[in-house]
């Protein structure tokens, strides 16, 4: 399974490729040692620290055919039998390039060790660099089929160390190389180049770099076999120089390889010298290598046999499969991965049960190169052999059939018993992995599934942490109802946060089996996470919150009833509340719970989040309470929030003018837009609002003049919501701009994607004159039934192909009603309509938008004719973003709407104002036109900064207003996300040119870990964010706002990385120059 990161071998022409191994996460480079074995210094994402799957930084041995366990979203534990463990865990670190040391200047311990740069350690929470870097050495020794290592720190800065200029030495080491004299040359991102040499004297003198070749005196052959650092370019040139001095020298190298009296190091070096000509080596030469007493020589023979792939040497390759040395055996098995000799299958099957894990793994991978039928025909009776044979079928993507899986798993359940002297701990863990890998097949058999449930429950409370971890996980995956109570008990007693996370994740997957009391216990525990370890994000990975919220989202959805009972314990500012309130939204008492939370919210951000939820709960009780709160407060931001919250509520007739009045009071664009949308939805002209609005005034303007002035002013201030404001102006003043075309929106009952959700929509509209023709373009994800003036005119069940329906005869002069019933099966949901007709006055259009009425429950009989006059109706929700697939399906019927209000629209309404009221529209002082910097000027300004001498406090305000923290973090008390690199230290990491490039041209270079992921659904929907769950059943993706969307796997068509930066272009161009200096000063001082 090739995936990031994988290692490939290919020929010089680039035509023949083979995958050596996969499953690395972030290995900057590979090192190859004296036996041709590959190693890398690798890390999981530091942003995943404290997520259950996070593994420490480690040294990997890339055995051929191996899998290092990284899965794109998360990693496998090292004991899974379908991946290999690391050689050595290091802890925290930031791996960079490395190299094998094959020189003599340093002591013998350094010889054949892997030197690796550990760049400055990153803070898991901020992504900034928290600790100085270091140069590490992994001293390696062969251990059976693999390697063991000892970690030694070669160099790191002393505490408080500074360079000659007084600059702190961070030792941000990036790459290391070996100089011709054997000293080390290390590149440092901050301080340049370091040279490290070995000298025991008290006052060492820095030596010149004198190549080893100039100090060598031995014979030509000895010099060749002992020449240092053969993988370096200067080492290769030295070899080439020596070989050029004697045309028979390579022949003597062959003899040296077979000479048992020569040092083994020289003989192994001979292998490397001969390897480029591997195809020309005589067969009898390899025969002698394969019979050599030294296992390293036999292992190299096996490797050569594999890459030669000669049929006449198949017997010799089979002979090596009988070798007793684990290293040779692994190499012989790796050769079989290339040779794929059917005669080897019986031996491969036998070796599946080998006690050395790397040998058994290599046998499994070699077996995977043969058809599943052949694998099954050669099954052994040993549990280890059966389990690895099953994994082999999975590796080759030709899994054993359900009946075979059922019979083999039944055998395994019978034979693998903890406490049985014949069962090892490894076998037990391997069986648990098999139960996870083949769950889909197992669950097709009820009896076997019941046996698996019983097996999992036996050790769910095991004292062995590995057993307990896997039994708990599988209880969740298998939805073991009887596992809920014991896992809940463990959760309540557990003190370790990571283990609690794991236990809660398993409970989130269990869909049944709890009592009301147990559900309440779980929610009480969940409420406790609002404080303590889960709430404290310092030291945790930046993406910890996204993964944890995915679990909370599932728990809240399953235990909503208990959540409502204890809802008063929710803290509005907690991450839990963000998820919990959404789960509560659909409950019978949602209006009271959400209202209470809204009234208790202490911050603007909390109130505004709850406003969005209150918009989906239409309730006279909520309206009454919010109106009371509005009348009782004079605080501007609170009044704005209350008016915005009331925009979706049914108001008494005497308060119907609230939103017209609100336009003159409020300033926030979100609240303004909600008021304007409600005015359009109500559909009343200014004169219909009564005397309450006649007293409104702005300067010298009163009544309808003041409202018209304000709406045009708001269009100037907020062009991004200009279309809604224009519609409000047209509605109030019963005047439509001749070329006005309302932008179509996709509408539904909620931005949430709920399976089997239904929604009913109604919209009344006027037809001025006799309609000569009418055409309805409509689609709904997934189904719709549409009525026009009470008559059914069409239906649809394929959202991807919008219907075009002729409705000319169904339209009538005066009031008309379109009514639609929609249903969502799963995934994205949304309705899109364009209704066009022509009268003597010209063409007219009606589209779906937030002026449409919505009912979340089936309306009373006759609603097709009466619409919102019958039942309880609210306002439709714009879901154009999450249901972009519907928008795209309708694109052939639509004109592309501008992102902002065109200037000619404002000009039209200013002329209209003068003609209607007899006075020109003159902007107040609140409207200012800032000088906009070009990209080139902004780039020049940032690149030319010699220092950062602005006002950091003012810069912080700009940073907050521009919502930079949403992606980059960096503000105390403001949670960041994972979508942008941390800016702490950015002015030190990047030179001015790089800094200017990153800000002005954000998509020029986007680092891989900050590229968003795009999930494409089977119905052409698109979700953007980062994947926080990826299993055989579900994919969860978290967007920039922290919204978690969970999709069944069968609804996911593709997952791909986006190349475009999420940072908008021209983000800072409208700022004044001094504001940009202030902002850069704040970033420079950011910790």
In this predicted structure, the answer to whether residue 370 has a pLDDT above a threshold of 70 is yes
Q: Do 835 and 978 have their domain in common?
A: no
856 inside domain = yes
Q: Do 18 and 94 have their domain in common?
A: yes
921 inside domain = no
E strand map for 102-145 = 113-118, 121-122, 129-131, 134-143
What is the pLDDT at residue 480? 97
Read off the pLDDT of residues 955-983 as tens digits, 9 standing for 90 and up. Answer: 877 776 565 765 776 655 444 455 677 78
Q: What percent of the chain has pLDDT over 90?
A: 52
Which CATH number goes with the domain that contains 1039? 2.30.30.100
Grouping H, G, I as helix, E, B as strand and the rest as coil, residue 510 is: coil
Which CATH number goes with the domain that contains 948? 1.10.760.10
What is the pLDDT at residue 216? 58
Q: Do 958 and 848 have their domain in common?
A: no
Read off the pLDDT of residues 395-440 as tens digits, 9 standing for 90 and up. Answer: 999 999 999 999 999 999 999 876 555 678 899 999 999 999 999 9
What is the pLDDT at residue 897? 47
* Final residue before a domain boundary, out of 879, 896, 913: 896
d(CA 199, CA 498): 46
Is the CA virtual torsion 1024, 1026, 1029, 1031 positive or negative? positive
Domain range for 1045: 1013-1057
What is the pLDDT at residue 926? 37
The confidence band for 737, taking pLDDT boundaries of 50, 70 and 90, is confident
Structure tokens at 416: 């693998």
| pTM of the predicted model as reported, rounded to 2 decimal places | 0.74
739 inside domain = no
Q: Do 268 and 292 have their domain in common?
A: no
Min mean pLDDT across 311-315, 324-328, 419-423, 709-713 is at: 419-423
How close are the terminal C-alpha atoms of the chain, in Å?
41
Residue scoring higher pLDDT (302 or 1023): 302
Strands 773-781 and 758-767: unpaired
34 inside domain = yes
Over range 282-311, report the average pLDDT. Answer: 97
The closest of 64, 523, 74, 661 to 337, measured between CA atoms, is: 64
The confidence band for 128, taking pLDDT boundaries of 50, 70 and 90, is low
Q: How many helices (H) and strands (E) does the chain have?
A: 40, 35
Which CATH number goes with the domain that contains 826? 2.60.120.260
d(CA 677, CA 851): 7
818 inside domain = yes
Residue scoring higher pLDDT (823 or 215): 823
Structure tokens at 875: 């306002």
In this predicted structure, the answer to whether residue 729 has a pLDDT above a threshold of 70 is yes
Residue scoring higher pLDDT (566 or 594): 566
Q: What are phi and psi of 865, to 5 degrees?
A: -100, -30
Q: Do 645 and 572 have their domain in common?
A: yes
Q: Do 134 and 157 have their domain in common?
A: yes
d(CA 86, CA 93): 15
Q: Do 645 and 766 have their domain in common?
A: no
Element (H, E) at 565: helix 560-565
Contact 402, 444 (CB under 8 A): yes
In this predicted structure, the answer to whether residue 922 has a pLDDT above a threshold of 80 is no
536 inside domain = no
Read off the pLDDT of residues 778-814 as tens digits, 9 standing for 90 and up. Answer: 999 889 999 999 999 999 988 888 998 998 788 999 9
In this predicted structure, the answer to whether residue 896 has a pLDDT above a threshold of 70 is no
In this predicted structure, the answer to whether residue 895 has a pLDDT above a threshold of 70 is no
Angle at 908 between CA 903 and CA 910, to 5 degrees: 95
Contact 375, 393 (CB under 8 A): yes
Residue 114 β-bridge partners: 100, 138
Over range 226-245, report the average pLDDT. Answer: 94
> How many structural domains does the chain have?
7
342 inside domain = yes
Which CATH number goes with the domain that contains 671? 1.25.10
CA atoms within 13 A on the CB side of 156: 16
d(CA 366, CA 318): 13
What is the pLDDT at residue 975? 46
Over range 920-949, report the average pLDDT. Answer: 72
What is the pLDDT at residue 903? 66
Top-ranked range on mean pLDDT: pick from 118-127, 483-492, 705-714: 483-492
Min mean pLDDT across 26-40, 504-518, 818-832, 1063-1077 is at: 1063-1077
What is the pLDDT at residue 15? 93
**Mean pLDDT over the full length of the chain:** 88
Q: Do 999 and 1020 have their domain in common?
A: no
In this predicted structure, the answer to whether residue 854 has a pLDDT above a threshold of 60 is yes
918 inside domain = no
What is the pLDDT at residue 222? 93
What is the pLDDT at residue 631? 93
Contact 564, 617 (CB under 8 A): no
Over range 648-670, report the average pLDDT. Answer: 90
The closest of 534, 596, 603 to 570, measured between CA atoms, is: 596
Distance of CA 569 to the CA centre of its chain: 31
Over range 234-262, report the average pLDDT. Answer: 94
Q: Do 51 and 125 have their domain in common?
A: yes
What is the pLDDT at residue 893? 63
In this predicted structure, the answer to whether residue 703 has a pLDDT above a threshold of 60 is yes
Over range 933-954, report the average pLDDT. Answer: 86
What is the pLDDT at residue 1042? 60
Q: Do 637 and 693 have their domain in common?
A: yes
Q: Please state whether the peptide bond connecting residue 5 to the residue before it is cis, i.e. omega within 30 degrees of 0.
A: yes
Q: What is the DSSP string of 282-327?
A: -HHHHHHHHT-SSHHHHHHHHHHHHHH--GGGHHHHHHHTT-SSHH
What is the pLDDT at residue 800? 84
Read off the pLDDT of residues 21-56 as tens digits, 9 standing for 90 and up. Answer: 999 998 999 999 999 999 999 999 888 999 999 999
Crossing angle of helices 402-415 and 425-437, in 10° steps, is 150
The confidence band for 212, taking pLDDT boundaries of 50, 70 and 90, is low
Residue 70 β-bridge partners: 75
What is the pLDDT at residue 899? 45
What is the pLDDT at residue 617? 73
Read off the pLDDT of residues 553-581 as tens digits, 9 standing for 90 and up. Answer: 899 989 988 998 898 888 877 878 877 87
What is the pLDDT at residue 510? 97
Which CATH number goes with the domain that contains 438? 1.25.10.10
Dihedral Cα 636, 642, 644, 647, nearest 10 deg: -140
Contact 1025, 1013 (CB under 8 A): yes
* Final residue before a domain boundary, out of 707, 733, 759: 733
The confidence band for 732, taking pLDDT boundaries of 50, 70 and 90, is very high
d(CA 1017, CA 1014): 10
The confidence band for 332, taking pLDDT boundaries of 50, 70 and 90, is very high
Q: Do 1017 and 981 have their domain in common?
A: no
Strands 747-748 and 1052-1057: unpaired
Read off the pLDDT of residues 1001-1017 as tens digits, 9 standing for 90 and up. Answer: 887 777 766 777 888 88
* Final residue before a domain boundary, out of 701, 733, 765: 733
The closest of 377, 379, 417, 372 to 393, measured between CA atoms, is: 372
Contact 629, 659 (CB under 8 A): no
Q: Do 1043 and 1075 have their domain in common?
A: no
Over range 366-380, report the average pLDDT. Answer: 97
């Amino acid at each position: 399974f090739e995936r990031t990161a994988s290692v490939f071998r290919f020929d010089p022409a680039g035509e023949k490729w083979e995958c050596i191994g996969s499953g690395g996460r972030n290995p900057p480079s590979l090192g190859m040692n004296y036996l041709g074995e590959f190693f890398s210094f690798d890390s999981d994402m530091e942003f995943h620290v404290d997520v259950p799957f996070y593994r420490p930084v480690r040294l990997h041995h890339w055995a051929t055919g191996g899998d290092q366990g990284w899965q794109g979203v998360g990693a496998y534990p090292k004991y899974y039998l379908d991946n290999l463990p690391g050689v050595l865990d290091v802890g925290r670190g930031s791996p960079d390039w490395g190299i094998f040391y094959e020189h003599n200047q340093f002591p013998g311990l350094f010889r054949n060790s892997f030197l690796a740069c550990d760049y400055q350690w990153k803070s898991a929470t901020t992504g900034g660099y928290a600790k100085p870097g270091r140069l590490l050495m992994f001293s390696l020794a062969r251990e059976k089929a693999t390697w063991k290592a000892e970690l030694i720190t070669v160099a790191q800065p002393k505490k408080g160390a500074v360079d000659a200029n007084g600059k702190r030495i961070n030792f941000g080491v990036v790459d290391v190389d070996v100089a011709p004299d054997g000293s080390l040359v290390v590149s440092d991102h901050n301080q340049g180049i370091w040279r490290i040499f070995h000298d025991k004297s008290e006052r060492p003198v820095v030596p010149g770099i004198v190549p080893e070749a100039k100090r060598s005196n031995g014979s030509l052959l000895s010099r060749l076999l002992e020449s240092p650092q053969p993988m370096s370019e200067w080492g290769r040139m030295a070899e080439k120089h020596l070989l050029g001095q004697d045309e028979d020298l390579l022949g003597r190298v062959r003899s040296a390889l077979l000479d048992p009296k020569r040092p083994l190091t020289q003989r192994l070096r001979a292998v490397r010298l001969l390897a480029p000509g591997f195809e020309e080596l005589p067969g009898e030469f390899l025969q002698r290598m394969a019979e050599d007493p030294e296992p390293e020589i036999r292992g190299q023979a096996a490797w050569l046999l594999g890459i030669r792939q000669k049929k006449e040497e198949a017997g010799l390759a089979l002979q090596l499969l009988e070798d007793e040395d684990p290293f040779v055996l692994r190499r012989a098995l790796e050769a079989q991965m290339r040779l794929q000799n059917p005669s080897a299958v019986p031996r491969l099957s036998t070796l599946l049960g080998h006690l050395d894990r790397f040998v058994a793994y290599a046998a499994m991978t070699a077996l995977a190169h043969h058809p599943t039928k052949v694998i099954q025909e050669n099954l052994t009776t040993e549990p280890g052999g059966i389990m690895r044979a099953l994994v082999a079928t999975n590796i080759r993507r030709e899994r054993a059939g359900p009946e075979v899986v059922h019979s083999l798993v039944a055998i395994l359940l019978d034979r693998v018993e903890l406490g049985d002297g014949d069962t090892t701990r490894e076998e037990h863990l391997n069986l648990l992995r098999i139960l996870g890998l083949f769950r889909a097949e197992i669950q097709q058999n009820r009896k076997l599934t019941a046996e698996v449930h019983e097996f999992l429950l036996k050790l769910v409370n095991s004292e062995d942490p590995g057993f307990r971890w896997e039994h708990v996980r599988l209880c969740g995956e298998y939805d073991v109802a009887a596992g809920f109570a014991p896992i809940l008990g463990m959760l309540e007693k557990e003190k370790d946060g990571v283990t609690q996370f794991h236990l809660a994740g398993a409970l989130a997957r269990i869909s049944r089996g709890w009592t009301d009391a147990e559900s309440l216990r779980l929610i009480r525990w969940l409420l406790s996470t609002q404080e303590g370890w889960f709430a404290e994000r310092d030291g945790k990975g930046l993406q910890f919150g996204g993964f944890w919220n995915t679990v909370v989202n599932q728990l809240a959805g399953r235990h909503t009833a208990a959540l409502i009972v204890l809802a008063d314990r929710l803290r509005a500012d907690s991450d839990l509340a963000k998820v919990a309130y959404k789960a509560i939204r659909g409950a019978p008492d949602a209006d009271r719970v959400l209202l209470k939370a809204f009234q208790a919210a202490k911050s603007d951000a909390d109130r505004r989040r709850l406003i969005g939820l209150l918009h989906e709960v239409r309730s006279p009780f909520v309206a009454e309470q919010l109106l009371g709160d509005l009348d009782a407060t004079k605080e501007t931001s609170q009044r704005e929030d209350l008016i915005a919250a009331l925009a979706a509520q049914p108001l008494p007739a005497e308060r119907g003018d609230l939103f017209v009045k609100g336009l003159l009071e409020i300033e926030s664009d979100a609240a303004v837009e909600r008021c304007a949308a409600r005015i359009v939805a109500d559909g009343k002209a200014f004169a219909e609002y009564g005397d309450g609005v006649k007293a409104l005034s702005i300067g010298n303007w009163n009544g309808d003049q003041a409202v018209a002035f304000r709406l045009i002013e708001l269009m100037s201030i907020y062009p991004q919501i200009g279309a809604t404001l224009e519609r409000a102006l047209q509605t109030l003043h019963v005047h439509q701009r001749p070329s006005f075309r309302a932008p179509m929106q996709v509408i539904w009952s909620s931005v949430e994607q709920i399976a089997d959700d239904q929604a009913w929509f109604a919209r009344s509209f006027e037809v001025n004159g006799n309609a000569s023709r009418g055409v309805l373009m409509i689609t709904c994800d997934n189904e719709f039934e549409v009525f026009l003036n009470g008559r059914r005119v069409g239906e649809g069940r394929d959202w991807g192909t919008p219907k075009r329906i002729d409705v000319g005869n169904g339209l009538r002069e005066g009031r008309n009603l379109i009514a639609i019933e929609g249903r969502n099966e799963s995934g994205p949901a949304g309705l899109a309509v364009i209704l066009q007709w022509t009268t003597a006055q010209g063409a007219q259009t009606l589209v779906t938008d937030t002026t449409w009425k919505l009912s979340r429950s089936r309306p009373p009989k006759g609603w097709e004719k009466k619409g919102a006059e019958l039942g309880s109706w609210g306002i439709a929700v714009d879901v154009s973003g999450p249901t972009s697939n519907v928008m795209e399906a309708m694109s052939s019927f639509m004109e592309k709407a501008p992102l902002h209000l065109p200037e000619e629209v404002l000009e039209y309404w200013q002329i209209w104002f003068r003609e209607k009221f007899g006075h020109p529209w003159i902007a107040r002082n609140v409207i200012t036109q800032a000088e906009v910097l070009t990209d080139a000027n902004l780039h020049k300004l940032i690149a030319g900064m010699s220092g950062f001498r602005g006002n950091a406090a003012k810069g912080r305000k700009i940073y907050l207003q521009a919502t930079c923290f949403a992606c980059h973090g960096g503000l105390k008390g403001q949670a960041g996300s994972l979508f942008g690199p941390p800016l702490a230290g950015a002015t030190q990491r990047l030179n001015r040119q790089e800094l200017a490039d990153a800000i002005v041209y954000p998509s020029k270079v986007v680092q891989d870990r900050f590229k968003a992921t795009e999930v494409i659904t089977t119905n052409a929907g698109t979700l953007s964010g980062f994947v926080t769950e990826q299993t055989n059943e579900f994919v969860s993706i978290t967007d920039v706002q922290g919204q978690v969307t969970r999709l069944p796997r069968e609804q996911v068509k593709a997952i791909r990385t986006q190349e475009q930066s999420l940072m908008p272009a021209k983000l800072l161009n409208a700022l004044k120059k001094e504001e940009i200096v202030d902002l850069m000063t704040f970033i420079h001082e950011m910790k």
